[in-house]
Amino acid sequence: MNKMKLQNVMKVEHRMMRRGAIHTWNTTSAIESINLSCDGQKLVSGDNDGNIKLWDLVSGKEVDISIEGHDGQVNSVAFSADGTRVVSGSDDKTIRLWDTATGAQIGNPLHGHDHWIRSVAFSADGTRIVSGSSDSTIRLWDTTTEAQIGHPFQGHEDYVNSVAFSVDGTRIVSGSRDKTIRLWNTATGAQIGDPLQGHEHYVNGSILGTRWKLSEDGWIHFPGQFQGVCWIPQHYRVLLWRSQNTCLISKSGYNKISFSRCVYGANWTKCVAT
């Protein structure tokens, strides 16, 4: 390695807390994206040299598989809920799927965006991928057929830096360099309501969900509400899919509640019987 190359090497440290221990991994490229598997056992990272690496959080070592294929910086990586696949988006304008057991690419690269891929995410059931790009569009993909679903979602006026599905898969949220956050209907591609405005700079991250907390006596509380809105019996609480859960691993299944059509607080006046 000559002097010029040495000057271009950037050392980055990953630190992961686990039972009081710190795992540190040194890489020779800047890390652009990381994501944890739902079971908390593995981490995936993408860097500005086009590399994707898997890390075992139990042993603290890099998983000995090769994940190669991108020709540009990897800006976004994400696990599927079951941990068997990783999706990645790159400056090479492609989205790729990878087998986490072997490192092999699954199918063909997904083409369609006209510029860098800034963000990618799986739906909870793993059947769809959403992508956001520097071409200001959002696109939806079928993981089985590798085809784009419908037309691009259009509305943002600058780079789309972050995208995410709602847990039930019916909505997508996006954040952009145009300083807005937008909600989209995944079935129609239509924007839901007006853009959310208030940020004074680029919006680089977003996550969609109805945030609620379960009190010790079993009542569900929404933010800013003193009164509980719903009581959960004791035998349903252990396997309850909480609002902050990405997934829940259980041999006995799980209990899930949807508040997607619920109104509360001052919004009760918007409730109309149908």
What class does CATH assign to 3-197? mainly beta
Q: Tell me the per-residue pLDDT of 51-79, one tens digit each, with 9 for 90 and over.
A: 999 999 888 888 999 899 999 999 999 99
- In this prediction, residues 127-136 reach a mean pLDDT of 94
Confidence (pLDDT) at 99: 97
pLDDT of residue 108: 96
Element (H, E) at 196: strand 191-197
pLDDT higher than threshold 80 for residue 149: yes
Query: pLDDT at residue 131 above 50?
Result: yes
Q: What's the mean pLDDT in 18-44? A: 73
| Residue ranges covered by each domain of the chain | 3-197, 210-274
> For the segment 221-251, what is each residue's pLDDT rounded down to a tens digit?
765 555 677 888 887 777 776 665 555 566 6
